[in-house]
């Protein structure tokens, strides 16, 4: 295929970016010794058939150290997305569904308007799902345990001081959400607080509500821990509770289960237990399962890494993930 190529030098890489112009270029930084890279190349080949105006580039990360260093490539596979010679997105790890989503969203196709409308609809649905993930949702820099800016730190302190039960989303972990939520909500800054899917506002608004005594009335009353666990378990049809996230597992068991799930082609959501100590400890008791990762399908516990391995070996994993058995 003319739009699926391999490059071996920095000059070839730069030439392809220049030639692509405003069309999307997807660059796969790979290594021959990594089997997951081979799998992702098969995914790219299928995407190349569908998106003929998108250029897909395979590049040995170690063969072009100057390019790898420039774009901070520290592991394989890593995918960079370029338009007009500028990097517009990034994906770390062998996650086929996420790669497909990003290509569909960014690609310039024969009917760009229809594609843009479709991708916008998909993104809006994702944002709506995140906003409604809990009765009170805070979009912030960092986590409620470790805020990473002064404004986020202040709003977390206010909510805790007034005994408001809330969940949080770290916008630094997802650049797409970080940028698009500002447009979706017509609110240009962070943090942002939502109650029952509706925007309340940022730090200044929350301060005013606290000073007037209206904060407790605006935000839902603290829910029980059991209700909160049920909410996060049912946040998506397939939920993986792990150390880290899809792009960066932070333990060997979590990394292994990600590789298995990514190979199924079934989409799933993750919850980083390192970001929420309350959920981390309570879920072990709730599920009567003492270790992580834990995989849930339609709110029901499937098990951990060993169970998922057994399901893969028996050929039942995909049907279980789809809720068919």
Tens-place pLDDT, residues 24-66: 999 999 999 988 999 899 899 989 988 888 999 999 999 999 9
The predicted model gives 280-297 an average pLDDT of 92
Residues 59 and 148 in one domain: no
Same-domain status, 13 and 101: yes
Report the domain count for the chain. Answer: 3
Q: Is residue 209 domain-shared with residue 237, that is, in the same domain?
A: no
**Does any domain span residue 128?**
no
Q: Which of 156, 185, 218 is the last residue of a domain?
A: 218
Structure confidence at residue 175 as a pLDDT band (50, 70, 90): confident
pLDDT level of residue 110 (50, 70, 90 thresholds): very low
Prior bond of 293 cis (ω within 30°): yes
Give 111's pLDDT tier (boundaries 50, 70, 90).
very low
Structure tokens at 2: 């003319």
Is 17 part of any domain?
Answer: yes
Q: Is residue 93 part of a domain?
A: yes
Q: How many residues does the chain have?
A: 325
Least confident of 8-22, 49-63, 190-204, 209-223: 209-223
Question: Within this chain, do residues 247 and 314 fall inside the same structural domain, yes or no?
Answer: yes
Whether the Cβ atoms of residue 73 and residue 29 lie closer than 8 Å to each other:
yes
201, 197, 200, 147: which is closest to 172 by C-alpha? 147
What is the chain's alpha carbon radius of gyration, rounded to the nearest angstrom?
Answer: 21
Please write the tens of the pLDDT for every residue from 178-207: 888 998 999 989 999 999 899 999 999 999
The domain of 289 spans: 227-322
What does the pLDDT read at residue 205? Answer: 95
pLDDT given for residue 109 in this prediction: 41
Domain end among 174, 196, 218? 218
Dihedral sign from CA coordinates of 280, 283, 287, 288: positive
| 121 within some domain | no
Kindly state whether residues 149 and 239 are assigned to the same domain: no
CA distance 118 to 109: 12
Whether 146 is in a domain gets the answer yes
**Is residue 120 in some structural domain?**
no
Are residue 238 and residue 209 in the same domain, yes or no?
Answer: no
Residue 297: CATH number of its domain: 3.40.30.10
In a domain, 177, yes or no: yes
Residues 11 and 93 in one domain: yes
For the chain, what is the mean pLDDT?
88
Between CA 266 and CA 92, with CA 24 as vertex, the angle to 5 degrees is 45
Identify whether residues 318 and 231 lie together within a single domain. Answer: yes
H helices present in the chain, as ranges = 10-20, 35-50, 65-70, 96-106, 112-131, 150-161, 175-185, 203-212, 215-218, 225-233, 252-262, 277-287, 305-314, 317-321
**Lateral strand order in the sheet of 238-242:** 269-272, 238-242, 294-297, 300-303
Residues 214 and 238 in one domain: no
Question: Quick check: is 67 in a domain?
Answer: yes
What is the value of pTM for the model shown?
Answer: 0.41
For CA atoms 44, 47, 49, 55, the dihedral sign is negative
Residue at a domain's end among 164, 192, 218: 218
Task: Tell me the mean pLDDT in the region 100-114.
Answer: 65
242: nearest Cα among 258, 227, 226: 258
């Amino acid at each position: 295929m003319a739009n699926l190529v391999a490059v071996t030098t920095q000059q070839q890489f730069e030439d392809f970016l220049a030639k692509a112009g405003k069309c999307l270029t997807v660059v796969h930084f790979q290594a021959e010794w990594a089997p997951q890279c081979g799998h992702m190349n098969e995914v790219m080949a299928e995407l190349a058939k569908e998106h003929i105006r998108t250029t897909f580039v395979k590049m040995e990360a170690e063969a072009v150290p100057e390019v790898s260093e420039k774009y901070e490539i520290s592991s394989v596979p890593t995918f960079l997305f370029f338009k007009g010679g500028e990097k517009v997105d990034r994906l770390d790890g062998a996650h086929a569904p996420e790669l497909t989503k990003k290509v569909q969203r960014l690609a310039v196709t024969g009917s760009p308007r229809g594609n843009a409308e479709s991708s916008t609809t998909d993104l809006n649905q994702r944002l709506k799902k995140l906003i409604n993930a809990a009765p009170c949702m805070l979009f912030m820099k960092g986590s409620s345990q470790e805020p990473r800016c002064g404004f986020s730190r202040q709003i977390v302190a206010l909510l805790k001081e007034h005994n408001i039960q809330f969940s949080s989303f770290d916008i630094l972990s997802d650049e797409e959400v970080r940028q698009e939520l500002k447009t979706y909500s017509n609110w240009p800054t962070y943090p942002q607080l939502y109650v029952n899917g509706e925007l309340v506002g940022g730090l200044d608004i929350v301060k005013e509500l606290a000073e007037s005594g209206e904060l407790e009335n605006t935000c839902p009353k603290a829910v029980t821990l059991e209700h909160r666990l049920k909410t996060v378990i049912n946040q998506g049809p397939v939920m993986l509770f792990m150390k880290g996230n899809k792009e960066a597992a932070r333990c060997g068991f979590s990394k292994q289960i990600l590789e298995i799930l990514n190979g199924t082609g079934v989409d799933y959501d993750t919850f980083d237990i390192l970001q929420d100590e309350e959920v981390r400890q309570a879920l072990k008791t709730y599920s009567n399962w003492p270790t992580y990762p834990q995989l849930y399908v339609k709110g029901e516990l499937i098990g951990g890494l060993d169970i998922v391995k057994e399901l893969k070996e028996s050929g039942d994993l995909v049907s279980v993930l789809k809720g068919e058995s």
